[in-house]
Structure 1
Amino acid sequence: MASAFATAVSGSPAAAASGADVLPRAVAGVRFPTSELARKTAQFVRSVSSGTLFNHVMRTYLFGSLLCDRRGVPYDSELAFVASALHDLGLVEAYRTPAERFEVDGADAAQRFLREQRMPADRAAVVWDAIALHTNAGIATRKRPEIAMVSVGSGADFSGNGLQRIPSDTLEEILAAFPREGFKQDAIATILSLCRTKPMSVLMHPFAEVGRRHIPEFPVPTVEDLLLAAPFEE
Structure 2
Amino acid sequence: MADLVSERASEAKEITRRTALERGAGVAAVGAASALAAALSSSSAAAAVPGAKAQDTSSHSRGTTLPTVVAGVRIPDSQLTRAVTEFARKVSSESLFNHVMRTYLYGSLMFDRRGIRYDREFAFVAAVLHDLGLVKAYQTPNERFEVDGADAARNFLRGRHMPAERVEVVWDAIALHTNVGIASRKRPEIGMVSAGSGLDLTGNGLQQIPADALTEILAAFPRAGFTQDALDTILSLCRTKPMSVLMHPFAEVGRRHLSDFQVPTVEDLLLAAPFEE
1:18 — aligned with what?
Answer: 62
State how 1:62-211 maps to structure 2 within 5 Å: 62-211=105-254
Closer, same or farther: CA 12–231 of 1 in aligned 2, 3 Å: closer
**Gapped regions of structure 1 (runs ≥ 5):** none
Closer, same or farther: CA 67–97 of 1 in aligned 2, 3 Å: same
Q: Which amino acid aligns with 1:48?
A: V
Q: Shift of the alpha carbon at 1:81?
A: 0.4
Cα pair 2:100 2:128 within 8 Å, conserved: yes
Closer, same or farther: CA 36–12 of 1 in aligned 2, 3 Å: farther
Alignment partners' CA distance in 1, 2:260 and 2:68? 49
Q: Shift of the alpha carbon at 1:13?
A: 7.2
1:51 — aligned with what?
Answer: 94
Closer, same or farther: CA 189–31 of 1 in aligned 2, 3 Å: same
Cα pair 2:138 2:148 within 8 Å, conserved: yes
RMSD: 1.8
Alignment partners' CA distance in 2, 1:178 and 1:130? 22
Report which structure shows greater RCO (CA 8 Å, sep ≥6): 2
TM-score of the superposed pair, with normalisation by structure 1: 0.93
**Gapped regions of structure 2 (runs ≥ 5):** 1-45
Q: Which amino acid aligns with 1:157?
A: D
TM-score of the superposed pair, with normalisation by structure 2: 0.79
Give me the identity figure in percent: 71
Closer, same or farther: CA 185–14 of 1 in aligned 2, 3 Å: closer
1:46-89 C-alpha deviation (Å, 9 max, x unpaired): 01000000000000000000000011000001110000000000
Q: Give the secondary-structure state (helix, strand or coil) at the position aligned to 2:48.
A: helix
Cα pair 1:204 1:223 within 8 Å, conserved: yes
Query: Which is richer in helix?
Result: 1
Matched residue count: 227
